[in-house]
Amino acid sequence: MILVIDIGNTNITLGVFNGDEIIHVWRLSTNDTRTEDEYGVFVKNLLRETNLDTKITNAVISSVVVQLTERMKTALKKYLGIDSLIISHKIKTNIIIKTDEPSQVGADRIANACAAAKLYSAPAIVVDFGTATSFDIVNKNNEFVGGIITAGMKIQAEALSRKTSKLPNLNIEAPKKAIGTNTIDAMLSGIVRGHASMIDGLISECENELGEKAVIIATGGYSSIIENYLKRKFDFINPDLTLIGAKILFDLNK
């Protein structure tokens, strides 16, 4: 069995694959002050609760938090006795990375693009709702040609609350209508409906540059909320896309 770890700026997602099937997924908050021992014990205990701690043979790590990448790799070696593949532009992939600086492409975006190319037809646009909202774009030749990165909805909500004196903290949820009749509803409408309008517009512009329609795949926690406000619905919503992409990359490099 393979342990896949996706280290994001806000959350760390862990998944266990038995063959190509995900059998367990856990999420925990990212904390770059935790030591390798803390992470090692934490992961080992999670696996032990499901009787998997002795069944994991290898791991693959997708990380956008540089200071945690090697720390997690060391923790897995120390506490589980397994080696880890670190995702980067240097490893073998099923796509060609054709950006200006391949070394700057995040591991999660590489995983998303690889999963899109493997599971769906190209051209494809992955919209990933994380700390940032990112677009990862694969053209008809299975080339990762770049994308878009913008502030995610949680960042927008936190910025509104932090940078203004009267606007409150809020949880992201579906707004009741476009015209908010109170502060919370007005903020939700601006964040959620505004995000949906942005996505509609950017998908249209990306397809114009690609010269054809693309398959649109969404991943991340806010996918289902946003879809209700899109003029063009997502073709697929796959909450485990990044984990699946990381597993695909592991299989290509084992």
Tell me how far apart the alpha carbons of residues 95 and 1 are, in angstroms, rounded to a whole number.
25
Consecutive H or E run containing 239 = none
Mean pLDDT of 147-162: 89
User: Which residues are catalytic, by number?
Assistant: 108
User: What pLDDT does residue 66 have?
Assistant: 92
Q: How confident is the model at residue 61 (pLDDT cuts 50, 70, 90)?
A: very high
99 phi and psi, to 5 degrees?
-95, 170
Q: How confident is the model at residue 151 (pLDDT cuts 50, 70, 90)?
A: very high
The encoded tokens of residue 189 equal 């409408």
Does residue 64 come out as left (phi exceeding 0), alpha (psi in the -120 to 50 range) or beta?
alpha
User: What pLDDT does residue 197 have?
Assistant: 95
User: What pLDDT does residue 254 have?
Assistant: 84
Tens digit of each residue's pLDDT (9 = 90 or more) over 205-233: 999 999 999 999 999 878 888 988 999 99
Tell me how far apart the alpha carbons of residues 189 and 187 are, in angstroms, rounded to a whole number.
5
Mean pLDDT of 124-136: 94
Identical fold between 2-86 and 96-244 = yes
Q: How confident is the model at residue 128 (pLDDT cuts 50, 70, 90)?
A: very high
Distances (CA, A) of 90 to 127, 143, 202, 253: 24, 15, 29, 11
Mean pLDDT of 104-120: 96
Helix 66-80, helix 36-49: angle, nearest 10: 60
Which residues touch 149 (CB under 8 Å, ≥6 apart)? Answer: 132, 133, 134, 135
Domain ranges in the chain are 2-86, 96-244
Residue 99 has pLDDT above 90, yes or no: yes
From the candidate CATH numbers 2.60.40.1180, 3.30.420.40, 3.40.50.300, 3.40.190.170, the one assigned to the domain spanning 96-244: 3.30.420.40
What one-letter code names the amino acid at 55? K
List the one residue out of 191, 214, 69 whose CA is nearest residue 133.
Answer: 191
CATH (residue range 2-86)? 3.30.420.40
Return the minimum-mean-pLDDT range out of 22-36, 64-78, 160-174, 191-205.
160-174
Tell me how far apart the alpha carbons of residues 88 and 167 are, in angstroms, rounded to a whole number.
40
Burial of 26 (0-12, 13-18, 19+ CB in 10 A): middle
Mean pLDDT of 141-151: 95
